[in-house]
Amino acid sequence: MKRISLLLIILALSIVANAQTGQAASSPTAPSDSELATQTTAASEGEDVQASESTESFDPGSVIIGHVTDAHSWHMFDFYTKDGVEHAVAIPLPVILLNDGHIDCFMSSKFHHGHADYKGYRLVGGGLEREEIICVDESGQPKLDAQGNIVKPLDFSISKVPAAIMIIVAIIITVVMVANKGYKKREGRAPKGLQSFVEMLVCYVRDDIVRPVIGEEHYQKYLPYMLTLFFFIFMSNCMGLIPFFPAGANVTGNLAVTAILAIITFFITNLSGNKHYWTDIFNTPGVPAWLKIFPLMPVVELIGVFTKPIVLMIRLFANMTAGHIVVLGFVVMIFILSNTISVGVGAGVSVLSVIFSVFIDLLECLVAYIQAYVFTMLSSLYIGMAVQEPHHAKA
């Protein structure tokens, strides 16, 4: 249990340190200068969105993408005052920026949901565009470097996804520690309550996934990592299905998170690979000699070493993101029909939308388990292939 907790902490620190970098690499490009000029005008008008802006056409794509991507604050809900002004209610998160050799730390509430600058920084994007922070001058114009590019600080902020990871890791560690305490109090007796649930999952991962796939001789060495992997993915998937704080963040639908998990499996697999594993890659048995002289098969096998973690990364990311988008798609249909046809039609469709949304959510509960199982099973399979010995060696 102690080894599991330690691995959870290491995993959380790795993901938090790389989440922003990974998201920047996989997200849309920064807003153009004309878009930034528009946002500058909006920021100068005040902190609240005006009533005329609230009557603009509903943008379903922006709503859906805004809910499944990362953000610098944890949005809760919006409400309108009597005069028609829209206000957003959100939990502010720490903003940590490195710019010109100095660090600036403050809460994201200083940006007033992107309608105000603070300390020469501005929060731009959101919705269909990647949310990011840029530098602005005293006149409110974006700063440009010598090449004419917008100046951006290094962003190490604890945004929504890293904050959710910390919450999930804290929950898992608490659950494991409570179960461990139960074992000490009820030593020699049948498990009870939470202890029974944790033991069921641990025994399932050990006996039905790790042991038969990696092998009796090596499975104990990799069991702590596999348990960590299964519990983290399963808990993240389940928390993502709950639509309110402290859940609701699309953790495993973030490409940076799934990439880090896949990279960890990649390094464990290849660092554990024995002589037989590498021989099969560069001198594949049963392959004609001319294919070895002209290194077609070694190249194919070597490419396979790198495609395995890519498949792990994309499978988990795509499945979880698709589920969230489908559920949100049914929800936004209500507002689309209300705006385009009539409120009555939207109200009528809302019944079907809610029914289908609940059905997809129930299906997603199964998917949450399946994706945790598949990721853990494939990671065990890759490691098992790397550490297994040839049959003649065992004889």
The residue range of the domain holding 324 is 162-394
Is 1 a domain residue?
Answer: no
Q: Is the dihedral of CA 239, 245, 246, 248 positive or negative?
A: positive
Is position 117 within any domain?
A: yes
Same domain, 143 and 166: no
Asked if 189 and 127 sit in the same domain, the reply is no
pTM: 0.80
- Judge whether 372 lies within some domain: yes
Using CB atoms within 10 A of its CB, is residue 112 exposed (0-12), middle (13-18) or buried (19+)? middle
Are 59 and 167 contained in the same domain? no
Residue 390 CA to residue 283 CA, distance in Å, equals: 14
Q: Are residues 51 and 122 in the same domain?
A: yes
Residue 68 near residue 253, CB atoms below 8 Å: yes
Q: Are residues 110 and 166 in the same domain?
A: no
Is 126 in the same domain as 257?
Answer: no
100 closest CA partner among 151, 58, 174: 151
73 and 170 fall within a common domain:
no
Evaluate whether residue 10 is within a structural domain: no
Residues 77 and 134 in one domain: yes
Q: For the segment 73-120, what is each residue's pLDDT rounded down to a tens digit?
A: 888 877 777 777 777 788 899 999 998 889 999 999 898 888 888 988
Q: Are residues 125 and 179 in the same domain?
A: no
Residue 12: inside a domain, yes or no? no
**pLDDT tens digit at each of 395 positions of the chain:** 444 444 444 444 444 444 444 444 334 444 454 444 444 444 444 444 343 444 456 677 787 888 888 888 888 877 777 777 777 788 899 999 998 889 999 999 898 888 888 988 999 888 778 889 999 988 888 998 888 889 999 999 999 999 999 999 999 999 999 888 888 887 777 777 888 888 899 999 999 999 999 988 888 999 999 999 999 999 999 998 888 888 888 899 999 999 999 999 999 999 988 888 887 777 777 767 776 666 677 788 888 889 999 999 999 999 999 888 888 888 888 888 888 888 888 888 888 888 988 898 888 889 999 999 999 999 999 999 888 877 654 44
If one counts the domains in the chain, the total is 2
- Report if residue 105 sits inside a domain: yes
Q: Decide: 259 and 318 in contact? Cβ < 8 Å.
A: no
What does the alpha-carbon distance between residue 105 and residue 97 come to, in Å, rounded to a whole number? 6
Buried b vs exposed e over 6-42: b needs ≥16 C-beta within 10 Å?
A: ebbeebbeebbebbbebbeeebeebbeeeebeebbee
Among residues 118, 151, 184, the one where a domain terminates is 151
Boundary (domain end) residue, out of 106, 128, 151: 151
Q: Is residue 283 part of a domain?
A: yes
Give Cβ neighbours of residue 77 (< 8 Å, ≥ 6 apart): 88, 89
Say if CB 93 and CB 158 are below 8 A apart: yes
Please report whether residue 320 resides in a domain.
yes
Asked if 303 and 322 sit in the same domain, the reply is yes
Q: Is 240 in the same domain as 113?
A: no
Same-domain status, 143 and 187? no
**Using one digit for the tens of pLDDT, what is the confidence trace for 359-381?**
988 888 899 999 999 999 999 99
End of a domain among 151, 175, 208? 151
For 238-281, how does the pLDDT look when each residue is reduced to its tens digit (9 = 90+)? 998 888 888 888 899 999 999 999 999 999 999 988 888 887 77
